[in-house]
Structure formats: C-alpha cells, structure tokens
Amino acid sequence: MDMTLSRRGDYVMRSAITLARAFSSGEQRKIREVVAETAVPATFASQILADLVRAGLASSRAGRDGGYRLIRPPEEISVLEVIEAAEGTLHAERCALGEGPCRWDAVCPLHETWLEMTGALRELLAQTSLAEVAGRDAAIEAGTYRLEGESHRTRPSRVSVADRVEVEAPLELVDRRLRALRSELGSLAAAAFVVTAPGRGRPQDEPMTSAVEARVVRAGGAKGAREPSNRRYRLEIAALTDLETVRFDATLALSAIDAERCAIAAEGDFRAVSTRQTVGRTELERRARRALRAFLRALARALDTPPAQ
C-alpha cells in the first residue's frame, strides 16, 4: 500500500520547508527561489504556494521586495496543517472493506482498527512541527543526518569533485570574457549537467528540462588593491528536470600558465536527487566528474573563441 503523499502534497510540503528555513532571517522568498530549492515545477509553483496562503500558513506580498513568508513561526505549525493544506482533511473516504457481504453495509470488522490507525496518524502529524522537519532537511543537506532502520533512499546525494582545463588565451583576456559570457552559462550547463531519458517517448538527445540556471560571480579583493596573478569566482549551477534536481556549487580559479595561456580549476559539491532511480556513490562520483569535465571543456572552447563583433 502506497503511503506517500500525492504530487501536490509533496510540492506543498517541500515549499513549506523552504519557507520554514528562511523564516528566522525575515526574508520573503521569491517563486524562483522556491523553484530552485525544491524542484517544484516553475509552472506549478504559484498554485502550490497559494495553497499555503489559503490555509492561513503563509502570506504573499507583491513587488520587488515581495514574496512568500510563513505567518507563524515554524515551531507553531504542524506537519498535519501543511499536508491538509494540499490534501484536504485526512480521513478514510470509504470503509476499508467496503465491498463485503450485505451484513457489512453499516460497519465492517476492520472499521474500529482503521479509525484508530487514521487517528494515530493524524496525532503523529499534529505533534510534529514544521520546524522539526525543516531541521532534518538542513541536516540532510549538510550530510549529518542519520536515519536509524530502513530508508527509502540508500544512495548519497552529494559528492565533492574537482577538475582543471587550460585556455589558449592570456589571463586578463579570459577574465574579461568570462564575465561577458554570463548569459551563455545556462546553455553550457544544460549540455553538461542535464540528464536525458531514452525510451520514454522522447528523442534520446532531448533535455527533459524545466529550468537550468548558472551564474558566476567574481570574488574580488580589497578595493584599490593591485590585480592578483589569479582570479577567483563563485560558480552556481541549478538544473531542474522531471528526472532529477542537480546543484553544483563550486569555486572557479583562474591562474596564468604563461603570457599566452591560463588554467581554470573548479572545485565544489555536486548534488543530484533522482526521482526515477537509485544511484550509488561510485556512479554519482562518475557522473559528477563527467559533467564537470564536459562543462569545463565547453567553457574553455567558449573562452577560446573571440566574441562576435
């Protein structure tokens, strides 16, 4: 018997956890931020967040500084409230043995047990706060959460990866081109980090992508300081598909090899949460190395090529 939430319930729970983790900062969460952190489809996110607003659990504010925020502290919101915001009141819609003999037309032998089970589930969900679930989510993200007993996910979701490529151009030129290349990073990231699903009624090379975002931000030194012989950037890649959620957070370091060449070294954490399959650590590391290598090669080619005039 499947005891998981419906797709809508799943998305509402994920969104509530994101709002809970942002509550202490006082920040409003934009829809795009919720999408990036939860893998809720962008076309569906506004409806999901509206469920929390209608249930009186969250508020919304329009405008540049607007967004979504919990109305009450997450310690005061139960998991039951969040689930029922999406699923409606949790109850048995029909008798557990509703198709039995005619003498069971009013009640069945399992009736009382089923009522007790439903009541116990509601009580457990009511006693579990959204803050507790958000705390578990933070521990899982940090890799410090340990689940005793059976787990429905046995593979790791995060591995560290590093790689390096050389670019046939001087460091100063590559530094300028990298900053000018920001609008193209998304397509480079999609080609390297997004998986495809052959045999599912789609062409094998068609990305099943709902969103891919990539940005690079230079980590500058003190104002007025001389330019160092190397450059450092923060690289963030987020790819959301109907197969998985991928995040890659890394440091990019540019260093001069000689007057005509430089190197780009990347080091960071690769995270992938699949909705279709279980992946072991060895396979996840192989996937991460392959994706990073493909991205760096594509980036090097783009930086090698002078921009069109």
Rounded to a whole number of angstroms, the CA Rg of the chain reads 24
pLDDT at 199: 41
For the ranges 14-18, 184-188, 195-199, the lowest mean pLDDT is seen at 195-199
φ/ψ (deg, to 5) at 300? -60, -40
Question: Which residue ranges form the domains of the chain, and what is each CATH number?
Answer: 7-142 (1.10.10.10), 158-304 (3.30.530.20)
* Residue 69 burial class via C-beta count within 10 angstroms: exposed 0-12, middle 13-18, buried 19 and up: middle
pLDDT tens readout for residues 48-99: 999 999 999 999 998 887 899 999 999 999 999 999 999 998 877 677 776 7
Q: Read off the tokens for 132.
A: 């507790």
pTM of full prediction above 0.75: no
Q: How far apart are CA 277 and CA 280, in angstroms?
A: 10
Q: Round the average pLDDT of the chain to a whole number and report it.
A: 81
- Residue 213 forms beta bridges with which residues? 238
Number of H helices, E strands in the chain: 9, 7
Which among 234, 233, 239 is positioned nearest to 187, based on CA atoms? 239
| Location of structure tokens 């729970």 | 13
CB 92 within 8 A of CB 105: no
pLDDT tens readout for residues 248-280: 889 999 999 999 999 999 999 988 776 555 556
